[in-house]
Amino acid sequence: MNSFSYTRADDVATALREVAADGAAKFIAGGTNLIDLMKENVERPSRLIDITRLTLGGIRPRSDGGLRLGALATNTDVAYHKEIERRYPLLSKAILAGASPQLRNMATVGGNLLQRTRCCYFYDTATPCNKRTPGVGCSAIAGFNRAHAILGTSAACIASHPSDMCVALAALEAVVRVTGSVGERVVPFAAFHRLPGDTPNIDTNLQADEIITGVDLPARGFAEHHAYLKIRDRASYAFALVSVAAALEMDGNTITEARLALGGVAHKPWRDPQTETMLHGQSATRENFKRVAEALLRDAKGFGRNRFKIELAKLAIVRALSQASFKEAHS
């Protein structure tokens, strides 16, 4: 780890001032990803601004019937919160499918959104990586890429976003609240993370002088018909090869609304709202689920070792939708 200076911010304005004053400064909260990357010399901040004492925790009801998750609420706080368990079980299950209890006790909502999209080559400073050093090339495209993305990739980067929580937030159409030097703004979840394009070094659309203050959940939580299915190499504590957040509204056996978000397959939680509408007005049958799965993966591209993910994702989508279509999902 490089040497750095440390300050603790007591309010958001101070935190923003401090980060603006030093282009190589970073905020730290849970630190579970940042410190790990610092130990590998991948992240080398000149200054860490500790934001853990800001009053950005808690989970509160919103006037529109939704909930606001404070940026500093821990993964554990959110996953086991009574209202989240009751109204947004998809989110609770996704969070509990990720990391370990120790990490969930440290990791925050804001930090989960800002963890780096990454791969083994990003971590390995002995290998070229466009995400670490733009322009030097991608070691994964012709390398060990079993865990890598199959959708939305570019010639510069095929890393996949590892979050489970963000997959559920994408399906729930959460809204990210951000404060910066020019004031507050809200970012729809789908617009928060970026595809790699030719700037894989930039993971999100958060600006350098901005801080996440919270994440808003809309009133609808799809508690009756949902599933979070995570396929991974071991039973627990591993990143998804493929994960699926499925949320349905149903009238009898007819689907009136469908949401599908995929994890482990792209540089960001993957959604294709246009394709989801294929299910609207359709009955919950395996054939219909297969059709939407085929459509969602129509542009998928494998890179050798990760080619199996294309078929795996289709099967996972069908299974997640089947689970979600039953009342009280068995995920």
Distances (CA, A) of 30 to 52, 104, 122, 204, 276: 8, 9, 21, 18, 35
One residue of 6, 61, 83, 186 binding another protein per CB under 8 A: 6
The DSSP bridge pattern shows strands 270-271 and 175-180 to be unpaired
Q: Give the residue with the Cβ less far from another protein, 201 or 285.
A: 201
Q: Give the residue with the Cβ less far from another protein, 91 or 292.
A: 91
- Partners of residue 193 on adjacent β-strands: 204
Q: By CB under 8 A, tell whether 4 contacts another protein.
A: yes
CB of 318 to another protein, least distance (A): 25
| Strand order across the beta sheet in which 183-188 lies | 59-61, 67-70, 210-217, 175-180, 183-188
Strands of the chain (E only): list them.
5-8, 25-28, 47-50, 59-61, 67-70, 175-180, 183-188, 210-217, 226-231, 242-251, 254-263, 270-271
One residue of 236, 253, 277, 283 binding another protein per CB under 8 A: 236
CB of 158 to another protein, least distance (A): 17
Q: Give the residue with the Cβ less far from another protein, 164 or 276.
A: 164
Q: By CB under 8 A, tell whether 294 contacts another protein.
A: no
Q: By CB under 8 A, tell whether 1 contacts another protein.
A: yes
Residue 64 C-beta-side C-alpha neighbours within 13 Å = 9
One residue of 21, 142, 186, 208 binding another protein per CB under 8 A: 208
What is the binding site for another protein (CB under 8 A)?
A: 1-6, 8, 19, 22-24, 26-28, 31-32, 35-36, 38-39, 43-48, 50, 52, 76, 80, 99-103, 105-106, 114, 116, 132-133, 199, 201-204, 206, 208, 235-237
